[in-house]
């Protein structure tokens, strides 16, 4: 339902039907929008509405579904993500838990790393959007940690594959690698 008929290319505001051209355009626009977000003060709290706005902001120039929860099943490799019927309820559960933990404010650094890894793993497993989940989750993490008095810099990770592998591990077994990665890039 998100692709042009007879293709795997996502319907977009530019009517581009070549996937590699679309990905290049998406990269340019999303990097621009992520730069804008870094210049703004994070929402307080960084709640579900802020999370949805992050997605909308990042992909607003490219996709008509920016800021909307996905309505179809998606998978990557052998991993299938949450069924669309369960996304909204699970997002409310995750963000209610986060609110109960005061959005990770006033936590010592070690506890921040552990709890942030938990929430990022939950959001990754849910994969609530049709496209842009990783970028949205990473920007959400940056804003959440900033609002809690920490700095998180994903650019300190030399190889982006390390981030992907940490999320894959969190999906399949353990948050250990994700916690190690976050421990490297979170500063007071």
- CATH number reported for the structural domain that contains residue 120 in this entry: 1.10.3290.10
Residues across the chain: 188
Q: What is the pTM of this model?
A: 0.96
Within a domain: 108: yes
**How would you class 127 by CB atoms within 10 Å of its CB: exposed for 0-12, middle for 13-18, buried for 19 or more?**
buried
The 10s digit of each residue's pLDDT in 49-75 is 999 999 999 999 999 999 999 999 999
Give domain status of residue 12, yes or no: no
The verdict on residue 95 lying in a domain is: yes
Q: How confident is the model at residue 133 (pLDDT cuts 50, 70, 90)?
A: very high
In a domain? residue 58: yes
Our count of domains for the chain comes to 1
Q: What is the pLDDT of residues 17-53, one digit of tens each?
A: 999 999 999 999 999 999 999 999 999 999 999 999 9
Host domain of residue 74? 19-187
């Amino acid at each position: 339902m998100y692709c042009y008929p007879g293709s795997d290319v996502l319907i977009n505001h530019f009517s581009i039907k070549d996937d590699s051209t679309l990905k290049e355009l998406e990269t340019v626009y999303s990097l621009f929008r992520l730069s804008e977000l870094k210049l703004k003060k994070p929402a307080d709290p960084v709640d579900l509405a802020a999370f949805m706005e992050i997605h909308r902001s990042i992909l607003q120039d490219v996709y008509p579904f920016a800021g909307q929860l996905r309505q179809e099943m998606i998978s990557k490799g052998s991993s299938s993500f949450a069924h669309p019927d369960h996304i909204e309820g699970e997002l409310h559960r995750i963000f209610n838990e986060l609110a109960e933990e005061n959005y990770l404010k006033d936590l010592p650094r070690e506890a921040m790393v552990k709890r942030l890894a938990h929430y990022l793993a939950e959001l990754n497993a849910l994969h609530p959007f049709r496209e842009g989940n990783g970028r949205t989750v990473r920007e959400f993490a940056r804003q959440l940690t900033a609002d809690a008095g920490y700095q998180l810099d994903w650019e300190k990770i030399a190889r982006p594959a390390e981030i992907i592998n940490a999320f894959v591990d969190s999906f399949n077994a353990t948050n250990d690698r994700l916690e190690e990665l976050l421990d490297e890039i979170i500063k007071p």
